[in-house]
Structure 1
Amino acid sequence: MNDAEVLPQNRPVARIDLTAIVNNCQVVRGLATGSRIMAVVKADAYGHGLPQVARAIAPWVDALAVARVAEAVELRKSDIGCDIVVLQGFTSRSELADCAVNHFLPVVHTETQIRLMKEEPELPVWIKVDTGMHRLGLTSSRLQDVSPVLNVVGVMSHLANSDQHDHPMNKAQLSELLSCARGLGCPLSIANSGAVLSLPECHLDWVRPGIMLFGASADGREESRIREAMSLTAPVLSLQSLRVGDSVGYGSTWKASEACRIAVVGVGYADGYPREIDGGEVQTAAGRRPIVGRVSMDMLTILLREEDHLDVGDQVTLWGDGLSIREVVAWAGTVPYTLMTGLTGRVHREYIEP
């Protein structure tokens, strides 16, 4: 048997379940029945593939949102015709022109943008107000001055602590938005994923789900109403037999306490699997097996049991079926966003169509 027969594709694979993402859109619709949905698909749809995800969910949402003009342009080039909101707005005259030509809805949040808008005074825009996060947004007092000179189609803000439903800032930020927008008659939006799930009073006219569309909560806790959409697998490259005292990997940080076998798996931090993993496991056909030694650039190693019958070419699940991304997040000391968006171009993506 030659290598091509054993290992036809030496690469990690991310399988994206578009049906799960559509399901999660429907969950949003059920939770926020009186609101319109602005689905946030920035950062390559949180690593799931921007055009593929956008095409799947466009019939189920009222608008899409991205962070940057370049992302919005990519959507238009992919023949996505629905409304596209650019959350960071434009940073130059050329980006403003792109917004006008492609009928994007930029978010205005700086005085520089207000000045540039004199060149496109009829362009519909959202205005972002800083209600306490102190990241992007005009001051509340500035909103009433600016609104009459722009073609404002909505006013938004962003919750800093929606992953903690009882945090006092949630109520304070909502109150500030309602107060400063009073009398404008504009649609309002403040609910991100955490608020969609846990703060119905924040749903208002538009909700802006992001991470929940892909099956995770902002804080990494289990959320039974939504389905994880991504699995990550990689092939076994090699099997090794170790003697007592043999060490594994860089730094020789793990040593065999008894004779054992390990499997070398073809995925590493250059693919986006976190080097910081501590006490992590993978899912094999035989069950969970621990990662031993350091995660390296292209590989990691797992400890097998005596009865395991794993072969070169067999697939190992890093997260997905039988192993939630929530667990990997905990082992890495991070959040789901970083794992999803951190997958690199070396990871092949396959799609399960709805």
Structure 2
Amino acid sequence: MLENVIAFTAIALLIGGAAYGLYSVFRYFIKKDITPFPIILGGSIFLAGIWLIFILGILETNNQEAVTNFEEESTVAITKDESEPEPVIEAEEPEEVEEVQEPSVEEFLQDVQPEDPLSNYEDYMEFYELQINRGYTVYGMEFDEVIIENRNIIVVYDADAIIEVGVNKDLDQVKNDYVKRVQEDLTTTISGSGDTGTDNIELVEGFAVFEMQYDGTDYFSVTLEDIDGNMVDLLANDVGNYKGKSFVWIQNTEDYFMNIKGSNGNWNIKVMQYYPSDFKTLPGKISGSGDDVIFFEVEKGSYQVEMSHNGEGYFSIFINQQDLLANEVGNYEGSQRHTFADTDIYVFVVKADGDWSINVKD
């Protein structure tokens, strides 16, 4: 549209300028009008028309180049689309993961055997994604029950190696049998009658629980002494039938012996150096009668310990045979606040001649 206007104006200026120029020449030479301005004006109009034509040429050239460039780019794009199609990326098919089949009982028994390193069992369980159905930890030994083909397999192991592998066994029975063997190995039993000085008994450093029973009508007492004859503790001191427990800290691993007074009756003493396989969990209430040793587990913190005794004789309660909570004679009812420094297993050591109770409260 702009180019047309410029072209029309340029032609008009050229024609007008030429005509006015001729008219001015006529007047200059024929009529002798010597004024030069009309000639200059006509020439100027004519030159303006020439400049417009020049500008029109420049615009036409630019338009032609733009059209040419557009056509070339379109041609390249079309050629590229036709000659170089974009590659189609095919989705990779996921690799098939081979499913691990559960082993048979026979395969398990072949690969997990006694005396093998514990890592063999752990790696085998992880590889086949086997789960432990039930388990116990008792006296440093682990007891696992694994179910394969609806049959139970019992695996017993310690921190280093597999100890036992069995099929169709009862987990509780296997655990209880082990506990019984351990306790028997850590128990010394002495029986007799009358006044007796026992043979030497080797005790290891730690604690020892003495469980004593006397069937008679006379005075009954038991003292624990070291190899040099120094008294370590008075374990029992009563008249007539007696049944009770006493707790002692053993300072050194060495030989000890007991002096027993019980001239008119039979007696039996068990010396045990192990935690019971089951113990109380507190807070809660415990009750009993006579001398006793109660192992319990409690979380660290401060607790109210309520105590009662229904009897005529001496009554005392220690925690770990160190912290004294009660020390009375006859009937007693009272309480003490006690702080347990750690979540751990502790022991109440009770001396009494009648019924007693301990209630641990938050």
Q: What is the TM-score normalised by the length of structure 2? A: 0.18
Structure having greater relative contact order (Cα 8 Å, sep ≥ 6): 1
When normalised by structure 1's length, the TM-score is 0.18
Which is richer in strand?
Answer: 2
